[in-house]
Chain A
Amino acid sequence: MTDPMLEVRNLKVAFPCAGGVIRAVEGIDLITKKAECVALVGESGCGKSVTALSIMKLLRTPPSVSRIDKLQLDGRDLARLTDREMERVRGRDMAMIFQDAMTALNPVMTVGKQIDEVYRRHTRLSRKDARQQTVSALELVGVPEASSRANSYPHELSGGMRQRVLIALAFACMPKLIIADEPTTSLDVTIQAQVLDVLKSMQQDHDVSALLITHDLSVVVNMADTVYVMYSGKIVETAAVQGLFLEPRHPYTQGLLASVPRLSDDKQAFVQIPDTVPHPMRKPSGCYFHPRCSRSSIPCPQRMPRLEPLENGRQVRCWHPLHQEREM
C-alpha cells in the first residue's frame, strides 16, 4: 500500500462569534492516495469548503480557530510549517480550483499575468519564459489561441474559458495535490461536462492526487475513486465510489442519492430529505442528522454515534446503518 499523498487527522474548525461558536468542522479525517481522486460530498453549509481551505491553511485566525492532529502532504508535515514555508507549498505542491471563476480571478489583471505569477513565484523562470509556460499550460487545458487569450482580462472570457484558466492556474506547477472546490457549479451543464473532462484528463495524465469538493453526486460518479460524505461538520460515511452508490449505509447518503433524479430508473420516486442542514451554531443533540432521519430511534437524540469501520475500508457514523435491509 502506497503512502497516502494527503493525510488529515482530526481537523476541527470553529468560528467564535457574538452569541456563540460556529462549529464548522468537527474532527474529520481524510486520506488521499497518490493519483487518487477523493470526493468530499455534502450539502452546502456542511463545512466542505472550510475543510478545503484548512488543508490549504488559507483560513485566517480571526475569524476562525482550528485544531488539527496531523496534516501531511506526501509525508511532509504541513501543520508545523510556518506561514512563509507554507507559501512555498501552496501553488507548487498543492493547488486549488475555486468555484466561481469570475470572482476567483483578479478582474484587473490579465489571466496570463495571473498564471505567470505562479511560475514567477515557484520557479526561476524569466518573465518571458514564464509567459511561454503560461501559454502552454493554457493550451493544455484546451484554451484556443492561448497566447492571445493570455492577454485578456477575466471578464472578456466565457465562463468555461475562465474555469479552464483556473484549472491551468492550479496545474501550472504540476502540484502533488489539487483541491477542486465545486469546480463546475457555476457553469452550464454542457460546459460542465467539458470542464470536467479537462479536469479529469489533467488529473489522470499527470498522476495528480485530487480532492474534489462538491454537492453534485453526478460529478462524483465521473471523477472520484473514494467518497467522503460529510454532514454538519462530521464525516458520516466513507466508501469507494461504486460501493457508496450501490449500497449507501448512512440514511443521509441514501437521501442524497435519492434526491438525484435518475432517468434510468423511473420507478424510484424523487425523494427529498426533509428540512435543511442544522444551523452550525444550534446543532441538535446526539446524532446531528436525527431530526431529519426517518430511522431515528432512542439513542439517536442522545448520543453521537462513532465512525465505525465496516468492510472494504468503508466507514459509517450511524446507530442504525443500512445493510441488507436495502434489499427488502
Chain B
Amino acid sequence: MKRSYVIKRILYAVFIFFVVLTLNFFIPRLGVRDPAERYYPPRGAMSDIEYEIIKQFTREQYGFDVSTFQQYIRYVQGLMRLDLGTSLQPGSPKVTTLIGQRLPWTLVLSVSTLLISLIIGLLFGTLAAWKRGRWQDTMLLNASTISIALPSFFIALMLSFYLGFELELFPAYTNPNMVAQFDWSWKAIQVVLNNAALPIMSMTLGGIVGYSQTTRNSVIAVTNEDFVITARAKGLSHTTVLYKHVLRNAMLPLATSIGMSISGLIGGAIIIERVFNWQGMGTLFLEANSTNDYPLMMGIMLFLSAFAILANLVTELFYVILDPRVTVGDRR
C-alpha cells in the first residue's frame, strides 16, 4: 500500500515536471515570430548581409534551425543529460556551471535561515502555545502581523543601515572577496559567517515569526486533542507529553510549511541577495534578467521549479514516515 502510494507520488511529480518543462520551453516562444530574436547579439555597425550571417550562425548555435517540435525533443534530450543549455554570457558558459558556482552561496544563506528560524520558531511557538493568552502569545500575534507588513528587504535595509553603517558590527554589504578567496580555512568560514550575518538576520526575522505562528497554532490544536489527555492520564510528565505526543503531531502541519519553504528556498533570497550584493542564485538571475540572457533565465527557472517539485515530493514521502495514516490517496 505504501509502496504504491510512493510510486504514485513520484509519477505525479514527474508529470508535473514535464508540464513545467514544457511551459518553460514555450514561454520564451510565445508572441514572437522569430524565437531566436532574443538570442541575437546587438547589431552594432553591421550591415544587413553581415547581420544575416550572424543571425544564421546564432540560430544554428542555439538550435533554432530546426522545427519547433524537433527543438522541443532536443531540449528534453538535453535535460536528460542534465544540460540546461548555454548562457549568452561571453565565453558561452553552461547554465549548469553558472548555477553550480552560485548555488552553494545561496544555500549558505537559505539553509542557515531555515534552520535558525525553524529552531527559534519551534521554541517560540511552543512557548506561545504554552503561555497561551499571556503576553508572550500576544506579542507573537502582533509580531506576525508586523513582520508580514514589513517587507524583508526593508528590514534588510534598516539592518544594513543600523548594524552595518552605524554600529559597524557587520559588513553592510557582502565582500565579494569572500567568494573569491574562499578556501575552507577557519578564517574564510568566519568571513563568510560575518558577511552572512545581516542577510540571514533579515530573512530569519520573518521566518521565525512564521514558524512560531504555525507551531503555536498546531501545538494548540494538538493540545486540545483527546490523546493528549490520554497521555496525561497515563501519568506522563509534562515534558514527555509535549515531546512525545504534542510536538510529534504538531510537526505534521509544520512539515508542510517547511516543505513549502524548502521549495522556495533558493528563489526566495532574490531580493535579500540584491540588497546585500550576495553572490548567489538570486543575483545570478537578476544579472541574467538585466542582460537579457534568456537561456540562463529559463534555465534557472527550470532548476528552481525542479527543486520545488523535488522538495514537495520529499515532503510528501517524509509525511509517509511522519504520519502513518497517509497511505493511499491524495491528502489534499
Contact = CB atoms under 8 A, between A and B. Distances in A.
Direct contact of A and B (CB under 8 A): yes
Interface residues of A, number: 34
B230 A108 contact: no
Interface stretch (A27-35, A88-96, A222-230): A88-96
B235 A100 contact: no
Which among A96, A105, A107, A156 has the greatest number of chain B C-beta atoms within 10 A?
A107
Interface in B244-262: 244-245, 248-249, 252
A91 B235 CA distance: 5
B235 A90 contact: yes
Contact of A62 (B133, B240, B249): B133
A95 B231 CA distance: 11
Given A103-B225, A107-B323, A107-B325, A118 B234 contact: yes
Interface in A7-64: 53, 56, 58, 62
Contacts of A58: 229, 232-233
A143 to B, nearest CB: 17
Contact of A117 (B132, B236, B322): B236
Contacts of B31: none
Contacts of B240: 117, 121
A256 interface: no
Nearest to A94: B233
Nearest to A102: B226
A307 B248 CA distance: 47
A103 B229 CA distance: 10
B245 A98 contact: no
Given A117-B244, A153-B325, A155-B325, A104 B232 contact: no
Contact of B227 (A53, A95, A99, A104): A104
A156 B324 CA distance: 9
Given A62-B133, A117-B244, A105 B235 contact: no
A86 to B, nearest CB: 8
A98 B230 contact: yes
B65 to A, nearest CB: 57
Contacts of B133: 62
B249 A106 contact: yes
Interface string B69-109: 00000000000000000000000000000000000000000
Contacts, number: 85
Nearest to B222: A106
A108 B234 contact: no
A104 B325 contact: no
B237 interface: yes
B234 A91 contact: yes
A100 B230 CA distance: 11
A169 interface: yes
Contacts of B238: 83
Nearest to B225: A103
A87 B249 contact: no
A104 B229 CA distance: 8
Given A62-B133, A108-B249, A108-B322, A98 B234 contact: no
A122 interface: yes
21 contacts: A58-B229, A83-B238, A84-B237, A89-B235, A90-B232, A90-B234, A91-B233, A91-B234, A91-B236, A92-B235, A95-B234, A96-B230, A100-B226, A103-B225, A104-B230, A106-B227, A106-B248, A108-B325, A109-B244, A118-B235, A122-B235
A155 B235 contact: no
Interface string A207-223: 00000000000000000
Contacts of B132: 62
